Amino acid sequence: MDLTRAKIRDLRKALDTKEISAAELCGEYFKKIDEKDGNVLSYITVTKDKALKDAENAQKLIDEGRVSALTGIPLAIKDNICIDGVKTTCASKMLENFVPPYNATVIEKLNEQGYVLLGKTSMDEFAMGGSTQTSAFAKTKNPYDLERVPGGSSGGSAAAVSASLAPAALGSDTGGSIRQPSSFCGVTGIKPTYGRVSRYGLVAFASSLDQIGPICSDARDCAVMLNAICGHDRHDATSARVDTPDFTEKLGQPINGMKVALPKEFYEQGIDNVIKTAVMNAAHELEKQGAILVDCSMPSLKYAIPAYYLIACAEAASNLSRFDGIKYGFRGEGRTFEELIRDSRSKGFGEEVKRRILLGNYALSSGYYDAYYKKALALKQEIIRQYDKIFEQADVILTPTAPTPAYKIGEQDNDPVKMYQADICTVTVNIAKLPGISTTCGYTENGLPIGMSFIGKRFDEQTILQAADAWEQGFQTVAPKL
């Protein structure tokens, strides 16, 4: 049995029965990383020495019978989540040599479980992009086709899980950055409700939209990961004071009577026919399991992309103002204060990051604030209202995760607007602060994965996990031929 293709629950059993030690399991993954990651480029930093220490500590816990769900389980972490003593670059030259002196809250929670760190995964620079090709260090490739993108911005995490270079990984999702790469790479990723998981220690892109979440091989492993990382955190003012349920509780329960909404706008112009067909076929399979399909409408979807990018870029411009070569980040040259900042930011940031900073500052500038940013905030409230209306008649919403399968590397390099439009199926979930999970629902003729997403009510991750799990139990996935 190839343990690197096993689920977390199978690895838990293998560790607890002493079929394999934590160090041996860790070694199996590093062996595969050495063999395969030269092609995939999913990792920026591989932490072998730290992993061996983590595995040694985990094995002591296992031997003493003090075992948690993730004790001894190797995991990969997106490179915008701070880990004490481990380089955290955000895939940017600006933070190329940044080593945090503290742990993000999610890392503290994983440490309490006794996890093993495999390394930090690649991403779009400062999480800005949908392809992981804006990374300054590792331009990740899709394990299903090395000529195609893995999606982004959490493309490194999704590719690592897809290629069996980690059993699970953490990513972050601002407008689909967990779900879209999960769709492209044929894995399962969940974006929790905003505030469900602490953002303390996550390098901010857009503070009102960002959320950390897991990428795994299936919904059941996502539930296990959520159990480990959720909970209120006094370090994060946006952390919700809500009880954390057992996210595995509804797994395996029938979906008979579950109302599944299908907003017509998510299936109209701009969505490839192969995507529509696969998602609708999945909807009818769910109907055979007892789900009730509900037709509905979300008219504001056509305004979602401009609203999202105005809000996200405005917040990014504010958040990234701290990186000036003096307080933080890469330091350029210059004889004057102004020259130093200009050189630092010009050389430290990549083109996509600069584009979004300019867009954000423009939207916030005097004379344009009311015309752009204020209208985007009004649209945000309308999107929330329309979701609330749909949930009056449905338990979950089913949509495509992305309008197309994974596209060729370089295909959208000269058309950023086209890349922005590719987020149409995911951004409203972040705007409305809802939970969403993407899982594979089919494959194209040339074997590329197709993803669909379940969207849930605020703080109702249990139901979307139940729906995704019900689908996955009857669906046969295809591993990449890497």
E-strand spans in 391-448? Answer: 396-400, 436-443
Q: What is the mean pLDDT of residues 163-190?
A: 98
Which residues make beta-bridge pairs with 171? 213
CA angle 429, 179, 279 (to 5 degrees): 90
Q: What are the distances in angstroms from CA 150 to CA 64, 330, 448? A: 40, 28, 11
> Residues 142-161: pLDDT tens digits?
999 999 999 999 999 999 99
Coil vs helix vs strand at 222: helix
Q: What is the mean pLDDT of residues 344-357?
A: 96
Residue 435: Cβ within 10 Å count = 27
Structural domains of the chain, ranges and CATH numbers in brackets: 3-256+437-472 (3.90.1300.10)
Q: What is the mean pLDDT of residues 232-245?
A: 97
Q: What are the distances in angstroms from CA 154 to CA 107, 131, 453? A: 17, 9, 17
Average pLDDT, the chain: 96
Exposure string of 183-195, with b = 16+ CB inside 10 Å and e = fewer, is bbbbbbbbbbbbb
Q: List residues with catalytic annotation.
A: 78, 153, 177
Cα 368 to its chain centre, rounded Å, is: 32
**pLDDT value at residue 180:** 98
**pLDDT value at residue 21:** 98
> Residues 266-323: pLDDT tens digits?
999 899 999 999 999 999 999 999 999 999 999 999 999 999 999 999 999 999 999 9
CA angle 234, 101, 95 (to 5 degrees): 110
Query: Which of the four pLDDT bands, split at 50, 70 and 90, describes residue 1?
Result: low
Give the whole-angstrom CA distance, residue 143 versus residue 456. 29
**pLDDT value at residue 412:** 83
> Residues 33-82: pLDDT tens digits?
999 999 999 999 999 999 999 999 999 999 999 999 999 999 999 999 99
Given a cut of 70, whether residue 207 has pLDDT beyond it is: yes
**pLDDT value at residue 367:** 86
**pLDDT value at residue 37:** 98
Q: What is the mean pLDDT of residues 180-191?
A: 98
> Residues 386-420: pLDDT tens digits?
999 999 999 999 999 999 999 999 988 778 888 89
Given a cut of 90, whether residue 2 has pLDDT beyond it is: no
